[in-house]
Amino acid sequence: MIPIIVLIVTSVALALSFTVVFIPWLVTGFFSPLVFIMVFTIGNSILLYGVFERRSPLFGKIIWKSANNNAAVSLTFDDGPHEPYTSQILDILARYNVKATFFTIGENAAQYPETVKRIVKEGHEIGNHTYTHDVLPLKLPRYICDQIRRTSDLIEYITGVRPVLFRAPHGWRNPWMNKIVKEEGCIPVAWTLGVWDTDRPGADKIITRTLKGVENGCILLLHDGRGVESKADSSQLVEALPIIIHRITEMGYIFLTLSKLIEEAPKRCQTRR
């Protein structure tokens, strides 16, 4: 999918660059291949940055870290629910009394409605992660709107709570996504630290990568599933999670759901020196 997105974005950049160079050429008769190549290269790089860089403000504001510089961290789990892993993760969170945020996929939520209910019942937050986890940069507004609305409708039907956070699959965006997300009542969010746990690097690596990158206001991206794959295996994360929670707590951080992390600076948080 990445080569196709790159190809189409590059074609758009080429067309825009041609327009930018073509108009002065018509007016002044001046044409420089070098200027054309420069405009194209810069334009193409900016567009690709907007699509693939999760923190890019090019296509609208995106929250990827808490603005409150407090010793608080948010655990976020994408691509679930997916059993038995989501329930195992919920057991661990309950054991440590940690609240987290689950960016669920609509299709998976339809398969495991009881798990979705349990997430909310135990005080965690549910975010919207589209209905089918399709990559969205090349999708038209109506399709993106349908993906978000169907998922929010389903989560609200199951739990009575409508999601207020949206995270795009892979964090990839396009120029019209932010507007649609907001119209559907959600805030677009990304993440601070991804540890690539879906690559199954081993529990030790998941722990090391997490502890190395955690910081004040960190939004940590983890996965209780992998897209809509039925055979996704999150056992390494389940093995790593108790140690991650224990060590991050030892480092002086508290855990908050993502909405709480980004909304306000809790009084009990102390700035970590």
Q: How far is the CB of 133 from Zn ion (least distance, A)?
A: 6
43 or 169, CB closer to Zn ion?
Answer: 169
Among 47, 51, 72, 79, binds Zn ion (CB under 5 A): 79
Q: How far is the CB of 28 from Zn ion (least distance, A)?
A: 49
Q: How far is the CB of 221 from Zn ion (least distance, A)?
A: 9
The closest alpha carbon to 168, from 160, 159, 176, belongs to 176
Clarify whether 78 is annotated catalytic.
yes
If one asks whether residue 169 binds Zn ion (CB under 5 A), the answer comes out as: yes
Stretch that binds Zn ion, among 112-120, 169-177, 194-202, 246-254 (CB under 5 A): 169-177
169 or 217, CB closer to Zn ion?
Answer: 169
Which residue is catalytic, options 78, 79, 197, 224?
Answer: 78
Stretch that binds Zn ion, among 60-68, 74-82, 145-153, 186-194 (CB under 5 A): 74-82
69 or 132, CB closer to Zn ion?
Answer: 132
Q: Which residues pair with 103 in a beta bridge?
A: 78, 127
Q: How far is the CB of 170 from Zn ion (least distance, A)?
A: 6
Q: How far is the CB of 125 from Zn ion (least distance, A)?
A: 16
Which residue is catalytic, options 82, 124, 223, 224?
Answer: 223
Tell me the pairing of strands 254-255 and 101-104: unpaired
Three-state SS annotation for the chain: CHHHHHHHHHHHHHHHHHHHHHHHHHHHCCCCHHHHHHHHHHHHHHHHHHHHCCCCCCCCCCECCCCCCCCEEEEEEEEECCCCHHHHHHHHHHHHCCCCEEEECHHHHHHCHHHHHHHHHCCCEEEECCCCCCCCCCCCHHHHHHHHHHHHHHHHHHHCCCCCEECCHHHCCCCCHHHHHHHCCCEEECCCEECCHHHCCCHHHHHHHHHHHCCCCEEEEEECCCCCCCCCCCHHHHHHHHHHHHHHHHCCCEECCHHHHHHCCCCCCCCCC
Say if residues 126 and 100 touch (Cβ distance below 8 Å).
Answer: no
Site pattern 209..248 for Zn ion (x: CB under 5 A): ----------------------------------------
Clarify whether 233 is annotated catalytic.
no
21 or 190, CB closer to Zn ion?
Answer: 190
124 or 253, CB closer to Zn ion?
Answer: 124
Backbone angles phi, psi at 15, to 5 degrees: -65, -45
If one asks whether residue 78 binds Zn ion (CB under 5 A), the answer comes out as: yes
If one asks whether residue 194 binds Zn ion (CB under 5 A), the answer comes out as: no
Site pattern 103..122 for Zn ion (x: CB under 5 A): --------------------
Residues known to be catalytic: 78, 223
Binding stretches for Zn ion (CB under 5 A): 78-79, 169
